[in-house]
Amino acid sequence: MPEYETPAQEAAPVKILIAGGFGVGKTTLVETISEIDPLRTEERLTSAGVGVDDLDGIESKLVTTVAMDFGRLTLTDAGVVLYMFGTPGQERFWFMWDDLLNGAFGAIVLVDTRRLDRSFPAVDFFESRGLPFVVGANCFHGEQPYTAEEIGAALHLRDSDTPVVMLDARSREDVRDALLALLDVLIAKAQTAAPV
């Protein structure tokens, strides 16, 4: 019987959520890192959102995600394919989050420290469901006046080991580093949960 080469191991699928408040850069983050043209479900903001959508600090925002964003990234060396699902940020679309949570391994919670109060619902959502996450502090205009420690303290994270990483959602390298930080969290959790 002839010997056959061992077939290449298929990359393991890993579902990741990119979550956060309205206008924090979730769609931009997915677009920046995805190896495929990302799926976007954006619609123009209309007068119907006046009095409903809080545009304070993001007045120039013209479109919003109404269902999800989707992108993919293959990490060949790690043997995984990341499937990234960006959640809608507006409160009226948060009902989608529970559906998107199904099958997810972890999340990046993107925050804008200029409007940090809008980050608490996303942090609370993942903490209450026990899904591991990292906080990505989006540095708008290349500036971040706070340290990772200050941001973590302001968010009152239940787990003091939850990483807070600084990133620019437009920078592929920054987004990659945030995803790797999340993978480190997931690996550490899996090792802790593995029977000895």
pTM for the model stands at 0.81
Check residue 1 and give its pLDDT: 45
By CB atoms closer than 10 A (0-12, 13-18, 19+), residue 190 is exposed
- 106: helix, coil or strand? strand
Check residue 145 and give its pLDDT: 86
51-55, 119-123, 135-139, 183-187: least confidently modelled range: 51-55
59 DSSP 8-state letter: T
48-52, 81-85, 99-103: least confidently modelled range: 48-52
Q: 63 or 144: whose pLDDT is higher?
A: 144
Mean pLDDT of 77-92: 85
